[in-house]
Chains A and B, each alone.
Chain A
Amino acid sequence: EAGVTQSPTHLIKTRGQQATLRCSPISGHTSVYWYQQALGLGLQFLLWYDEGEERNRGNFPPRFSGRQFPNYSSELNVNALELEDSALYLCASSLGRTSGVADTQYFGPGTRLTVL
């Protein structure tokens, strides 16, 4: 069974540009999460989508947005890129919020975003 996949692996942008990162969850999972791992800041929760809706958002500016498609894949958009947005962006998936179980989150390999 395929795990969580993310694309691209690496992305280089310049300040002020927009970045789009993509994630495909494990088959059967309806929840997708995005996390940022920046140097010195550790792993921080960004967004949670379930059944196409944004369910929760971390402490990030509105420049960070996303969506979940009907096939449960997801996209993270970062507008007006700043140097400090350089980080590894990790996507995770789990069974949906109505599954009634303590959900293990399975992570993809990440997208390394570099802002110059």
Chain B
Amino acid sequence: SQQGEEDPQALSIQEGENATMNCSYKTSINNLQWYRQNSGRGLVHLILIRSNEREKHSGRLRVTLDTSKKSSSLLITASRAADTASYFCATSGGATNKLIFGTGTLLAVQP
């Protein structure tokens, strides 16, 4: 079963605008990862944030993690048409290493 819920389910913005996606989860975690998926293909890893970290940056990506609220956000700044994709958060905890995925946010960036 899915653990994470993502909000919004879909987001449409203009090129150059910022896009923010939120993820909530239910149990304690070791880390949280964000992935991008283009048109039903494989997942591309974007960023991993550990449970003892609060914020992480990678290029135009900024991820925050609030373990007290069991939530994370992904900010994509200065979006491009090529950023159009589905974005998923995934958590792992305990010793199983399995990832539990959120429901995903479909981002459309209009040129």
Contact = CB atoms under 8 A, between A and B. Distances in A.
B87 interface: no
A33 B88 CA distance: 17
Contacts of A50: 97
Contact of B96 (A44, A56, A88, A109): A56
B45 A48 contact: no
A58 interface: yes
A87 to B, nearest CB: 10
A59 B1 contact: yes
A72 interface: no
Contacts of B30: 102
B98 A58 contact: yes
Given A4-B42, A42-B101, A59-B1, 16 more contacts: A42-B103, A44-B101, A45-B98, A45-B100, A50-B97, A56-B97, A56-B98, A88-B40, A90-B43, A97-B97, A104-B45, A104-B48, A107-B42, A109-B42, A110-B42, A112-B40
Interface string B8-47: 0000000000000000000000110101000011111100
12 contacts: A33-B99, A35-B99, A35-B101, A37-B40, A42-B101, A42-B104, A44-B101, A45-B98, A90-B43, A92-B43, A94-B97, A103-B97
Given A104-B33, A107-B35, A48 B98 contact: yes
Given A56-B96, A104-B48, A43 B42 contact: no
Nearest to A107: B43
A110 B35 CA distance: 15
Nearest to A47: B98
Closest 4 CB pairs of A and B: A43-B101, A107-B43, A109-B42, A45-B98
Contacts, number: 66
Interface in B76-111: 88, 90, 92, 95-101, 103-104
Contacts of B101: 35, 42-44
Contact of A33 (B41, B95, B98): B98
Given A102-B31, A104-B33, A110 B98 contact: no
B62 interface: no
